[in-house]
Amino acid sequence: MTAEVSRRLQSYDELGAHRHLVVSERLRLRRRELGLTQKEVVSRLRRIGVVTTNKALSSLEHGAGLDVGKLPEIARALECSLTWLVGLTDDPASWEPDFEHWPGRRRSPRPPARPSDHATSVGVPPILGPLH
């Protein structure tokens, strides 16, 4: 393995560990911002089909047992975007990442394609709003 590959893998591992920590912290932060107990979050999750326990939620908030498959439902229960939950934006309501949160960002970002343009180009009806 070359030094460059080793450096990239180490950097990626550090990024993964950082994002894991961000998710744990934001779970706890958002729950508290909403004034919810862990039990109330567990109840919200059950209503949308995710069976978990207070103990499991506590573990998530402390960085253990993170199941990425449940993150969309957790974000929904906490009334925030998945993008915010994983640390790619500072706005809990935003689905669009803030480009400064992407590692190795050296140039100004390209404006994002409008979802309706992409949907139309691949033959899928737009579901995120009308065409402009």
Please report, for the domain that includes residue 26, its CATH number.
1.10.260.40
Q: What is the pLDDT of residues 72-129, one digit of tens each?
A: 999 999 999 999 999 999 999 999 888 776 655 544 444 444 444 433 334 433 333 3
Q: Are the C-beta atoms of residues 48 and 37 closer than 8 Å to each other?
A: no
- Chain-centroid distance of CA 35 in Å reads 20
Specify the number of domains making up the chain.
1
Q: Are the C-beta atoms of residues 51 and 41 closer than 8 Å to each other?
A: no
Q: Which pair of structure tokens corresponds to residue 26?
A: 């934001």
- Please measure the distance between the N-terminal and C-terminal CA atoms of the chain and give it in whole angstroms: 50
Q: Which pair of structure tokens corresponds to residue 11?
A: 């950097």
Please say whether the dihedral angle defined by the alpha carbons of residues 44, 80, 36 and 58, taken in this order, is positive or negative. Answer: positive
- Chain-centroid distance of CA 65 in Å reads 16
Would residue 110 count as lying in a domain?
A: no
Q: What is the pLDDT of residues 36-59, one digit of tens each?
A: 999 999 999 999 999 999 999 999
Host domain of residue 25: 3-94
Would residue 37 count as lying in a domain?
A: yes
Amino acid at 124: V
